[in-house]
Amino acid sequence: MRPKLVAANWKMHGSRAMTAQLLGALRDRPPRCEVAVFPPFPYLAQAVELAGQAVSIGAQDVSAHAQGAYTGEVSAAMLADFGARWVLVGHSERRQYHHEDDVLVTAKLERALEQGLSPILCVGETLAERERGEAEVVLARQLATPLHLLGERAADLTIAYEPVWAIGTGRTATAAQAQDAHAFIRSQFAARDAKLSRLIRVLYGGSVKAANAADLFSQPDVDGGLVGGAALDADEFLAICAAAR
């Protein structure tokens, strides 16, 4: 049995006041499922301080380097030092706007794992790739380098399937589309390690809302969600958490 995880990716939204308000709501009304919150870097320390027992905190990105002259970068050791538990790696917005490729993404996963952080590796196809019938090819490619280079350490990954065409568009994958993609992702692990493929958690992300969460989360291979816009509203996010049973 894989426990459900609901993760909130705030992206580049927030303020000290919003951090206090959203984490205060989660502390006052603790969700029954596992919850991880990913604020922007400047709010990490505040978020760690305010998170109750029920919530853990993560960063939206991490440097591929351990330390050194890399202006503007934040290392995995720094995140661990601030009490972060999780880190998102390879989000499509990083791949698209910062040209992150699978080798760089894998280096970031390695730095995170070295520091005992739990990385959430984000994968997903664009609309053009889906329309060309290439969704599975893209998912297989995005998983191949990390799985090959990490070997047994891949057991410590969580995967987020985030079809690019569903992110911030209001156009959610149907529960059946999500299930198909998640089963395919799991099959990529099964090819290497059958036990791991049963244990690895695969979250769905892309326009998750209270109205569609229960349908998505009821699919056998959907182990929770990575929520963007809807995570900025405490009531909406708590309703999504309540759908994760």
Active site residues: 91, 162
Packing angle between helix 234-242 and helix 210-217, nearest 10 degrees? Answer: 20
- Which position among 31, 146, 205, 224 is part of the footprint of ligand 13P (CB under 6 A)? 205
Cα–Cα dist 81/98, whole Å: 26
Return the structure tokens found at 49: 């301080």
* Helix, strand, or coil (residue 172): coil
9 binds ligand 13P (CB under 6 A): yes
- C-beta of 81 vs 173, nearer to ligand 13P: 173
Nearest to 127 by CA among 154, 160, 153, 92: 92
Q: Which residue has the tokens 């995170």?
A: 112
Applying CB under 6 A, among 73, 229, 233, 239 the residue interacting with ligand 13P is 229
The span of 65-73, 98-106, 108-116, 200-208 binding ligand 13P (CB under 6 A) equals 200-208
Binding status of residue 244 toward ligand 13P by CB under 6 A = no
Interface with ligand 13P, residue 13, by CB under 6 A:
no
Which of residues 70, 168, 174, 218 is near ligand 13P by CB under 6 A? 168
Q: How far is the CB of 166 from ligand 13P (least distance, A)?
A: 6
C-alpha span between 200 and 209 (Å, rounded) = 24
